[in-house]
C-alpha cells in the first residue's frame, strides 16, 4: 500500500513473556541460558551463558524474545521482580 497518510503515529508495544508451563524456548536454547525457576515458574535468561544464537526466538510460539544486536545477546521482557 503506497501513498500519504494523515494522522499517523508510532508506538512501542512491549512483548511480555508468557512464562509457559512447558516453555519451548528452554528446549531450543543450545547454550542452556534459558531456564524456568522452579519456585515460581518464571522463565529467565542467564545473560552470562547467552551466545546470541537466536534459536529461542524461533522456538517461542509467541516470539517474545528480543535480540540485542550490540551485545549479541537475547533479552526478554520480565515480570517485575523483587530484589529480595
Residue 3 lies in a domain: no
Whole-angstrom distance, CA of residue 60 vs CA of residue 3: 35
Whole-angstrom distance, CA of residue 74 vs CA of residue 84: 25
Residue 19 lies in a domain: no
Q: What is the pLDDT along the chain (84 residues), one digit of tens a residue?
A: 567 777 777 777 777 788 899 999 999 999 999 899 999 998 888 888 988 888 888 888 887 766 655 556 666 655 544 443
Give pLDDT, residue 80. 46
Whole-angstrom distance, CA of residue 55 vs CA of residue 74: 10
Supply the pTM of this predicted model: 0.66
For residue 57, what are the domain limits? Answer: 24-75
Residue 16 lies in a domain: no
Residue 49 lies in a domain: yes
Residue 12, all three cell numbers: 512501542
> What phi, psi does 28 have (nearest 5°)?
-90, -10
CATH code at 33? Answer: 3.30.70.20
Residue position matching grid coordinates 545477546: 73
Give pLDDT, residue 17. 84
- Quote the number of domains for the chain: 1
Give pLDDT, residue 83. 42
Amino acid at each position: 500500500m503506497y501513498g500519504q497518510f494523515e494522522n499517523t503515529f508510532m508506538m512501542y508495544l512491549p512483548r511480555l513473556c508468557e512464562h509457559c508451563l512447558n516453555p519451548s524456548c528452554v528446549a531450543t536454547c543450545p547454550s542452556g541460558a534459558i531456564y524456568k525457576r522452579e519456585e515460581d515458574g518464571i522463565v529467565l535468561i542467564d545473560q552470562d551463558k547467552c551466545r546470541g544464537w537466536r534459536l529461542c526466538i524461533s522456538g517461542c510460539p509467541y516470539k517474545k524474545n528480543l535480540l540485542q544486536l550490540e551485545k549479541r545477546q537475547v533479552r526478554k521482557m520480565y515480570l517485575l521482580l523483587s530484589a529480595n
